Copies of this chain bind each other. A is one copy, B any other.
Amino acid sequence: MATMDKKNVSMNDVAVAAGVSLKTVSRVINEPDSVRESTRDKVHAAMEALGFRTNFAARSLKLGRYGCIGVVLFHLSGGAVDMIDGIADAAEERGFALTMIKKRAGEKMTLADAARRMSQLPVDGMIFNLRQMVDDFETFEAPKDLKTVIITPMEHPTCSTVSDDQEGGARMACEYFLDHGHKNVYFVAGKEESLSSQCRMKGWRAALEARGIEPPDPLQGDWNADSGYAAGLVLADKPDCTAVLAANDCMANGVMMALRDKGLSVPDDVSVIGFDDELYKTIPNSILTSVKFRHRELGIRALNEVVAGLEAPSSRSRTLVSGVLVERSSVRDLRA
């Protein structure tokens, strides 16, 4: 009555039970067509009965690959969900699993640290999600045998990178203001160390300067609504302020609330554009025009780039995923 269940059922156990050779079991799994149907059935029955599952370690040792892509999260923010979603879906589709590690809060992790850790894990290639500066960014060289893609707005000298076109998105929003007859655009920045905020600011500056407009001093925020509100109070007192670009929707909302509290109307008195297009989730009948980035697409591209690099020892590439301006009614047309 005592069924002695062995710890791990191996192919050999299955082979013995089915009365065939080890190699035949292997064939049933990897090239079933090369095995006679009657034999196949016996083997399948034995596998079922014993509860066999192929051993990942042995298999990948033999094959020399894992079928896993590493993901290093230097930073895990809200937008990261959709990106991970994209990475995971694309991986699934191409038959890969993900191996994930994360920088701990407070911990200092360089690209080299991440690469070192990853290369001890079951991983054929890797993706770094990097939204802030890191010490060895310029000097880092990826392991030659581990295709590495970095998700970051910065260009890297040797690694492939993928990014939202944050700068382009900001430029687009600015030009939208200008094309609607606005003569100037104020900017509310996100957290200072955030690369996203820096890029958005850069795009804003570039767009204004391209039309010969001197950019006013940007206002410093911290991504949250309260900092936007504070900025809005300041802006409400500037008579030349007709257009405000806020580095995200929460701050944009803060700005709008402050303007309203100061007796100004959006968009009649002041026009506002935000980023991320997420205000509609929280505010009913939201009117905020916003630049939306396709984070999911970003993840998909990153994963595809890694997988491509696995097959062909590809060179460095740079992918930009453009943003989309979601138009609502927070921008007034000053022409005519």
Q: Mark A47-82, 1 if CB is under 8 A from B, else 0.
A: 000010111111011001010100101001110110
Indicate if the CB atoms of B56 and A121 lie closer than 8 Å.
yes
Q: Counting CB contacts under 8 A, is A283 at the interface?
A: yes
A contacts with B, residue count (CB < 8 A) = 65
Q: Find residues 71-118 in chain A having any chain B CB closer than 8 Å to their own CB.
A: 71, 73, 76-78, 80-81, 84-85, 88-89, 92-93, 97-102, 104-105, 116
Contact between A282 and B66 (Cβ–Cβ < 8 Å)?
A: no
Of B64, B81, B100, B120, the contact of A100 (CB 8 Å cutoff): B100
Chain B residues closer than 8 Å to A53, beta-carbon distance: 116, 119-120, 143
Q: A81-B78, A121-B56, A122-B68 are in contact. Are A257 and B282 (CB under 8 A)?
A: no
As a 0/1 sequence over residues 243 to 274 of chain A, the CB contacts with chain B under 8 angstroms (1 = contact) are: 00000011001100110000000000000000
| A279 part of interface (Cβ distance < 8 Å) | yes
Contact of A88 among B51, B73, B249, B279 (CB under 8 A): B73
CB of A7 closer than 8 Å to a CB of B: yes
- Extra contacts, 7 of them, besides A53-B116, A53-B119, A226-B285 (Cβ < 8 A), are A56-B121, A61-B61, A78-B81, A92-B101, A97-B101, A98-B100, A250-B281
Cross-chain pairs A/B with CB under 8 angstroms, 25 sampled: A53-B120, A53-B143, A54-B120, A56-B66, A57-B57, A57-B58, A57-B60, A57-B66, A68-B99, A71-B100, A73-B88, A76-B81, A76-B85, A85-B102, A88-B102, A93-B104, A98-B100, A98-B101, A99-B100, A225-B280, A226-B280, A226-B285, A229-B285, A254-B284, A257-B283
